[in-house]
Amino acid sequence: MDQFVDAAKAFMTDVLFKSIPKLIVAILVFWIGWKLIKLLDKVLLKAYKRHTVDPSLQQFLNSLIDITLKILLTLTAMGIAGIKMTSFVAIVGAAGLAVGMALQGTLQNFAGGVIILLLKPFKVGDFIEQGTYAGFVESIQIFSTTLRTYDNRMIVVPNTELATKSMVNHFSMPQRRVTIPVAMAYGESVEKVREILLRVANAHPLVLQTPKPPMAPVDNLGESSVNFTLFAWTLPENYWTVLYDLNQQVYETLLKEGVEIPFNQLDVHVKN
């Protein structure tokens, strides 16, 4: 019985009176540190805006600083709680191979994020395509890039995908060309159709005259139609508006002007 009492006293002395205060302090330090990191994030964002730092760089730096400080805070709290770092490092070292394999993709994504920020193949606000992904760049984090699609879905793409594979940036150039195929029936006036196409394109308020004014050359002679291609330049953000408007306006104007628009048909001749 006395041995049990002595063991209980030893437990109370070694664990409760020594470990619990350390644990409480560690929790307080972790909680206060977490709040300070969030406050620092807000301060940094205000500083970035005040000094007009590139939005892509803002998000990357904020994400990097946030994760680094949280890792340091966690290690500090563990040290205060009495968790020996040598034991922790030994455990990590024993599982080094598994951890290395698990972090391999993460480190590649981090390197991809650095490459994106250095080479700047795209920035926040650009519309990009890569493989099956397409959308507006919402943010560039240290491991991934977030895209917003036209139908308002969010796509998270690993940075290594965007840094190491072919990608199309639709906003990289100051203007973008709209291409619209138009067909007319044989026998119609080429000059009349061209005049209609150019008139419609030049009347659109979002069509630009630079780098070139609208053009409507005869592209080819098809089996049942003379095929034009209408070219018009606009700003990248206006591309879809101009494309849809010109498609509708060209069709309505050709009908109004009495121009025959051919369609595929099959003539069957029956012999007795």
Per-residue pLDDT 10s for the chain (272 aa) are 556 555 555 545 555 556 677 777 778 888 888 888 888 888 777 777 776 666 666 777 777 778 788 888 787 877 777 666 555 555 555 555 454 555 566 778 878 888 888 888 888 889 999 888 899 999 888 888 999 998 999 999 998 888 888 889 998 899 999 999 999 999 899 999 999 999 999 999 999 998 999 999 999 998 889 999 999 999 999 999 999 999 999 999 999 999 988 877 666 777 76
CA 104 to each of CA 42, 99, 107, 155, 161: distance values in angstroms, whole numbers, following the listed order: 31, 8, 5, 22, 14
Is pTM beyond 0.75? Reply is: no
The domain containing residue 181 runs over which residues? 176-256
In a domain, 133, yes or no: yes
- Whether residue 29 is found in the same domain as residue 80: yes
- Whether residue 44 is found in the same domain as residue 128: no
Q: What is the CATH number of the domain that holds 18?
A: 1.10.287
- Whether residue 182 is found in the same domain as residue 125: no
Nearest-10 Cα torsion for 156, 158, 164, 170: 10
- Whether residue 79 is found in the same domain as residue 148: no
Q: Tell me which residue has tokens 């981090």.
A: 110
Q: Which of 241, 261, 240 is nearest to 181 (CA)?
A: 261
- Whether residue 82 is found in the same domain as residue 38: yes
Q: Which of 194, 179, 170 is nearest to 246 (CA)?
A: 179
φ/ψ bin of 116: left (φ > 0), alpha (ψ from -120 to 50), beta (otherwise) = alpha
